[in-house]
Every structure is written in structure tokens, then in C-alpha cells.
A and B are shown apart, each in its own frame.
Chain A
Amino acid sequence: MLTPEAPLALLAELTHRCPLRCPYCSNPTELTRAAGELATAEWARVFQEASALGCLQVHLSGGEPTARRDIVEIVAAARAAGLYTNLITAGVLLDGALMERLFAAGLDHVQLSVQDADEAGAERIGGLRGAHAKKCAAAALVKRAGLPLTLNAVVHRQNLHNLPRLIELALEWGAARIEVAHVQYYGWALANRAALLPTRAQLDDATGIVEAARIAHRGRLVIDYVVPDYHAARPKPCMGGWGRRFLAVSPAGNVLPCHAAESITGMTFANVRTTSLAEAWTGSDAFNAFRGTAWMPKPCQGCEHAERDWGGCRCQAFALTGNAASTDPACALSPDHGLLAAAVAEAGDPSFRYRNFS
């Protein structure tokens, strides 16, 4: 067995509860209910273990992390463990009092999601009326607290026409960074793929807009850009390689190599209630299944890109081929590469299947 390097970051998915119902939600299609969530003290222990293992930062995510009543205690526990603490939020539950308490607890950074640049679009995509105005107010609260703000704009077929306005919104709201992230297709997003996949022309326009905006706003706004791989010839180096840099803990305590790993049917996970994070990282089947290069099939095996893209995304390989150990079909060398072009050709139905608890 390989002795893995220490992870750098922990994604803590505190809850699956969320007032929004985005059709591309990265949560699994089978959502955990409140009764199954880890308790405050369990998260505090996870943060201590993550820090001892080598993690430098924690992303507090969900669902909506502020839907937890103990979010302030959770932030304080993350800081007490010595972690750089990033809150990934939809912002609709944030008010002035909560913002002050989060700041006092040691929160370092806020990443605020935005569904579209105009109210009607944003509220149709997020499935929550009144959300957009609340997000605008939340951005102001973050700035008033003196915390750095990143806007997270997930982009797709139905909002890409507003990309220039989303970038303007980041400037208006005082964000120093915006992440323009094309939807990645597993879980809910896969179920909504026909409504969300952009055309090649949309993608090329978006890339051009981002490149121009980076130059226009240099020194004021950093733009991170996550490209969609349905139009790609090379897969993304998902998670920087399975079990190499990141680990995630689900609301119920499962230790995951990737937040979408539970979409791989048949894979079993260590749980923080019975296993230490260090044991899960070094010894669990889930992490070792696709660590390194030995597991790789042809054409990855021996490929010059093997240690650059790590064979792409395991969840996407499973979602599209039924086998998590196959080459990511986003790679042009994959025998299944044609599946992507076929999906793009079939896209166009604008109706959403909104995220919900089944």
C-alpha cells in the first residue's frame, strides 16, 4: 500500500438542508436528514483530527451551513483547531447578528453563491423567491464585517448569457474574487443535464468573456474559471488526484475522497464515528481504490498524462460508464468519449428537476 502524503484541505459538509433547490446541487441525490447529522462535538473532533493530519483549511459547506443552529460553535471549533475557515453559503439565512457572531468566532472568508445576475433568473434557478435580494444584503454584511468575499457563480446553458453581468455583480458587491464554475455533471446536475449543458458556442463565448474581464479588472477582481469537460479532449485532474490533497466529510460522517463519491454505487466509506480521519485517509478502501496509478486501465496506464490528470474524474467515469475504474470519458483517448458529444447533441430541454428530499 502507498503511504499517502498529508491532505491540505477538508470539505466539511455540515448538513444537506438548504432553503434553495438548485438543479445542479452537488449533494447526493439521496440526502441526509437533520437527525442523521454529526453533532457539534463530533465536528470539533473532526477538525482537530484534520489539523493533526496536516489539513490547513476547512471549507464549511452543505447544503446550507448556516442552517445549522450551532454554526457559530462550529466555526469557533475549526479556528481552535488551527484551520483557515471558509464559509460556503447561499447567504439567505445570514443577518447582521449572525455575521457578527461568525466574525467573532474567527471566520476567515466567505464564499457566497449566486444563481444568476437578474432576480427572475436567479430565483427560477435557485427555486426560492426573494433569495436574490437576501444575497445582496448578505454580501454587504460580509463586507461590513471586514471579511474577504468571493462570489461563486455556477454557470450553464440557462444563465451564461448573463456572464458579463455576473462579473459586474461581483464588483458591485465588493467581492475580490469570483469563481465562474461550469456545472459538473453527477448527482442532481446529471439528472438535469439536458437543461444545463452549454453549447460549444456558449462555452467559447464564456471563455472569451472571462479572459477579457481578467485583463479589464486586473488588481481589482480575481476570476477563477472552472471549465466544463463535455467539450474537452483532456479530462480534469479531479481533486488533484484521488486521495492526494483533499478529503470530505458528509453530514452523516462518511469520509469521502470527493464530495460526490457517494454517487459511486457499491463503494463503502469509513465513518468518523468509528474511524479516525487519519485511518480513513491512509487505510480505507475508498481512498486506496484509486490512489496513485496502479489501478488505472488502458489507455491511462503508461499514458504521459497519467500523473497530470490522474485519469480524470472517478464519479464521472461511474456516472457515464457504470464503472468507476474506467478512463473518464472526457478524455479523447477513452473508448466512451462519444458519450459526451451525444449528450451535448441531446441537450436543450429547459425544464428542471429541482433538488428535494425524497
Chain B
Amino acid sequence: MIPRFAPGVRLQEDKARGRWIVMAPERMFIPDETALEVLRLVDGTRDERAIVAALAARFAAPAEVIAGDVRMMIEDLTARGALTC
């Protein structure tokens, strides 16, 4: 399963305020740190397993621990309309 940004949704740097924002049609929200790490890896080619592997390598953590967090995060971002799977 490859998560993708929903139409019209993208991650955008807010340089003036030193943060990243999820921009969507006529609304925006600020992802927390975990969500941001996941969203940065959403590129339309990585599937969920590849995202987990990338995060596990980056944070030197077991993939099975990361997998649960990523699943919850993708479900949450999908429910909020930011991602489609």
C-alpha cells in the first residue's frame, strides 16, 4: 500500500515561523514531529513498509515498534483528508 497526498494537499515549509505545514484546500494544519517524519517520506513511490524501514534506520529503532506508530499516523492523516492510500 502506497500512501499518497490527497489531491490539493502538500507539505510546505513555513520558513517565516520555522515549521512545516500541511496545506489543503482552504485549510492548513501543523503536523506534530512524528507526523512530519512520516509525511516527509510520502513521495508516491514508497509503500508503508519502506516508510517504516526508512524511519527504523534513521532512528535506530526496531521496525516492529515503528510500524505501529506509522500505521496509526497514516490512519489519522487519512481520516483528516491529508493522505489517500
Interface residues of A (CB under 8 A from B): 6, 8, 51-54, 56-57, 82, 84, 86, 108-109, 111, 146-148, 150, 176-177, 179, 224
Contacts and interface: CB of A to CB of B under 8 A. Distances in A.
Given A84-B10, A108-B8, A108-B10, A148 B16 contact: no
B64 interface: no
B16 A109 contact: no
A60 B35 CA distance: 30
B23 A52 contact: no
B7 A86 contact: no
A84 B17 contact: no
A111 B25 CA distance: 9
A54 B17 contact: yes
A59 to B, nearest CB: 9
B2 interface: no
Given A84-B10, A108-B8, A150 B16 contact: no
10 contacts: A6-B17, A51-B15, A54-B14, A54-B16, A56-B14, A56-B28, A57-B23, A109-B8, A147-B7, A176-B25
A224 B25 CA distance: 12
B33 interface: no
B63 interface: no
A82 B7 contact: no
Interface in B39-65: none
A150 B17 contact: no
Given A52-B16, A54-B16, A109-B26, A147 B21 contact: no
A56 B26 contact: no
Most chain B beta carbons < 10 A, residue from A53, A56, A224: A56
A82 B25 contact: no
A109 B13 CA distance: 18
B78 to A, nearest CB: 12
Most chain A beta carbons < 10 A, residue from B15, B16, B26: B26
Contacts of B8: 108-109, 147-148
Given A6-B17, A54-B17, A109 B12 contact: no
B7 A56 contact: no
Interface of B: 6-8, 10, 12-17, 21, 23, 25-26, 28
Nearest to A143: B7
A14 B7 CA distance: 25
A84 B7 contact: no
Contact of B25 (A6, A146, A150): A150
A57 B13 CA distance: 12
A176 B12 CA distance: 21
Contact of B7 (A52, A54, A57, A146): A146
Contact of A108 (B15, B16, B17, B23): B23
A224 B8 CA distance: 17
A224 B26 CA distance: 10
Given A6-B17, A109-B26, A150-B25, 18 more contacts: A6-B16, A8-B28, A52-B15, A56-B14, A56-B21, A56-B23, A56-B28, A82-B13, A84-B12, A84-B28, A86-B26, A108-B8, A108-B23, A109-B8, A109-B25, A148-B8, A150-B26, A224-B26
B17 to A, nearest CB: 7
Contacts of B10: 84, 108
Contacts of B17: 6, 54
A108 B22 CA distance: 13
Contact of A86 (B13, B15, B21, B25): B25
A27 B10 CA distance: 31
B41 to A, nearest CB: 21
Contacts of A111: 26
Nearest to A179: B26
A266 to B, nearest CB: 33
A343 to B, nearest CB: 30
Given A176-B25, A177-B26, A82 B12 contact: yes
A179 B27 CA distance: 13
A244 B17 CA distance: 15
